[in-house]
């Protein structure tokens, strides 16, 4: 058994349940129980516990960005002029509202944040960078890296 960061315990069945649901979050409890090697009731009890304890945060549809015309991915490094807690909180709350920003990570290093930004094309990216990202509180500078090809994008 592995101990999680909150002190709870998860075992190989819990891991199998989570791995299976990452692959296909729409499978029935019958399919899931067969996949992990448990009968339906214990599988359902474990699934409920994993959700209640916050291991499983929700279920979402994965959309095809290309079919939606969102082929352009760029990573933006963002340096802030102020990194005190209040400034970070202001930046964090505002960047979370920009729909084109798929991911935002605070970084230890030469810059403060790394943003993954998805748009239809470079022109739209320039607009998002200029009108939304650069106008966020305390942004001192940005630097952009354009993705030529996404090899792997799916998380856990």
pLDDT digits (tens, 9 = 90+) for 87-143: 999 999 999 999 999 999 999 999 999 999 999 999 999 999 999 999 999 999 999
**39 pLDDT above the threshold of 60:** yes
Element at 76 (helix H, strand E): strand 72-80
Cα(9)–Cα(145) distance, integer angstroms: 40
Q: What is the pLDDT of residues 41-53, one digit of tens each?
A: 999 999 999 999 9
Cα(155)–Cα(134) distance, integer angstroms: 27
pTM: 0.81
What is the sign of the dihedral through the CA atoms of 29, 30, 31 and 37?
A: positive
Determine the pLDDT at residue 8. Answer: 63
Determine the pLDDT at residue 5. Answer: 46
Closest Cα to residue 110, out of 144, 85, 82, 78?
78
Determine the pLDDT at residue 155. Answer: 59
Closest Cα to residue 116, out of 155, 156, 83?
155
Cα(149)–Cα(144) distance, integer angstroms: 15
């Amino acid at each position: 058994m592995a101990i999680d960061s909150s002190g709870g315990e998860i075992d190989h069945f819990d891991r199998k349940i989570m791995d299976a649901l990452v692959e296909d979050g729409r499978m029935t409890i019958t399919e899931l129980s067969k996949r992990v090697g448990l009968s339906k009731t214990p599988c359902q009890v474990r699934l409920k516990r994993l959700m209640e304890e916050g291991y499983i945060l929700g279920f979402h549809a994965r959309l095809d960005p290309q079919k939606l015309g969102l082929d352009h991915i760029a990573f933006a490094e963002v340096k802030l002029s102020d990194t005190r807690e209040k400034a970070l909180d202001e930046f964090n709350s505002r960047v979370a509202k920009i729909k084109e920003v798929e991911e935002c990570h605070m970084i230890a290093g030469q810059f403060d944040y790394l943003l993954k930004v998805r748009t239809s094309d470079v022109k739209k990216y320039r607009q998002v960078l200029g009108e939304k990202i650069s106008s966020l509180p305390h942004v001192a500078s940005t630097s952009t890296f354009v993705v030529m090809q996404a090899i792997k994008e799916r998380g856990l």
